[in-house]
Chains A and B, each alone.
Chain A
Amino acid sequence: MRPDLQLIDKFISPGSRVLDLGCGDGTLLSHLQNNKQVTGIGLEIDEDNIEQCIDKGVDVIEQNLDSGLANFQAGSFDTVLLAQTLQALSKPEQLIDDMLRIGRYGIVTFPNFGNWKSRLYLATRGRMPVSRFMPYEWYDTPNIHFCTVKDFDTLCREKNIRVLQRTVVDSEHQGSIAGRLWPNLLGEIAIYHLTREQ
């Protein structure tokens, strides 16, 4: 399983209801269904991914996140996930609002554009960074809303969203003491556990 998905696992309580926005091939939900007895539904638009979800016994709804989540009722899930998808949304702020309306908890993971490698890449080459985690050129990237850990912290503060836990990891998905000290500089992937509850 993708290491960032393993990191998500610890935030999910056994037997809970989980909505996975952009669930991919259903790997995480399948894992959570089999190991934590969660009831899961995924949203996905890629045809091949949808078929792989069905193959895995994961319920999946063909729905574009950019069309909103009005069909989901407030409080109808325990946790709503958004893994590595935030940066590809046309209205990420609206979707985060929706997430925390539908779910008691939200989990958001995204590639941290403030990582020193991106900064160095841009500073030395003067071009948009391309790396293993951001493998696209600027003109063909689905990622239209990159942000940094600092940016996301600010958004949460402005929207009065409570950050229960923030983890950043490097490309090996290892956390470190230095990463805790300078998350925006050293973290390559950020994982946020959020709630509206105070």
Chain B
Amino acid sequence: MADKYLELVNSGMTKKLAKLLGLPRPPRLRRYGVDTPLLPGPVLVLGTSARAQELSDVMVSWGLDVRRHDAGQSKLGGLVLLLDELSHPEQLSALMLATGAALRKLVPGARVVSVSKPALANDEPAVAAVRQGIDGAMRSLGREMRGGATANGIVLAGDTSIVSPSALGALRFFFSGRSAYVDGQFLTVRTEAGELPDDFRAPLAGKVAVVTGAARGIGAEIARTLARDGAKVVLVDMPQAGDALAKVANQVGGTTLQLDVTAKDAGARIMDHALTRHGSLDLVVHNAGITRDKLLANMDAARWDSVIAVNIASQLRMNEVFLAAKLPGLRVVSLASTSGIAGNRGQTNYAASKGGVIGMVRASAALFAESGGSITAVAPGFIETEMTAKIPLGTRTVARLVLPSLMQGGLPVDVAEAIGFLGSDAAAGLNGQTLRVCGQSLVGA
């Protein structure tokens, strides 16, 4: 399952050989640990913004070495581009060229984060042009980053600012190893909702989280990650997966709830378990999903219907139950897929279900917000799991090496980290969005 190629080209004799032959060398990604630094070096802030000073103060309070001017030759761990006040594409030049000059100083695993505003239909044409242009520039920059460094952006919608809770939450997420496999992506801060945790080491402390499909793969990793972040986890899976489910539950100190998410009463049983056994329900991760791949010409009703039933219909039904209960501050994070964005041969059914998740999340945002909650989704790209290990080697290697900017498949923990962030109170202002965790794969770009 592990990517042997990545190991070979990054160690010892084979590393030298790979260099000599000019083989693609996927970098080792900087991943999160409770005690790892937020950034691997100082952060340089380029550009101006009304609240730039406040932002600098916050970053200093996070223990970062914040530079407002490029000071000579020192290495950089991060770069923040304040682009939210630009009003014409001609204004981009100075900042982008300054960024270009700073790129050489970035250490492996560095982060570039842009801050901009959304391009809207009623903007002045020049304003919309520069804002949309930033989107293109940052996505291109993502493809130019090396050594596991990434480039992502924060978009400030409405009256939000860079010091809005979810803007700071998104900034920390992009800075930290939690976003190791997130590249070339934007998060839009829509409201002032949300709050940063008291303790960044335990952002989910005191929360009760339910993870469906938690027995193995990405679901098990989500359970581990949420527990590490301080949540009490309820692990849900089919009775057939009960033994694997119990193992994960006993690792993370959670409780098991064996049920089929397509059952009519699944939502009620999940809510009942969380409330009676743990006192609240704060986060639901709709991770349970199946694939029944077949070219559409050969598709049968059983394959199509089961995928829709598990991957999207069950979520819609459970969400109705949660909404009716008006659980205060409930956060829901769903699993979408880049297949639902870009399409994938043999996956019309799966892509319909995963595209469905993206639509559901967007359309449910206001409903969850009524009780102070939110709903978001994560769309994983190529993730190294038991499921993807079954893909033929050639296809797998292409999926890992050629397509994503980061030249490798992601790990289940990369998806789990994004879910942990989106499920936290710091992400409340990001309600309704789908975040891709795909290493900036070409697929669905």
A binds B: no
Which residues of B come within 8 Å of A, CB atoms? none
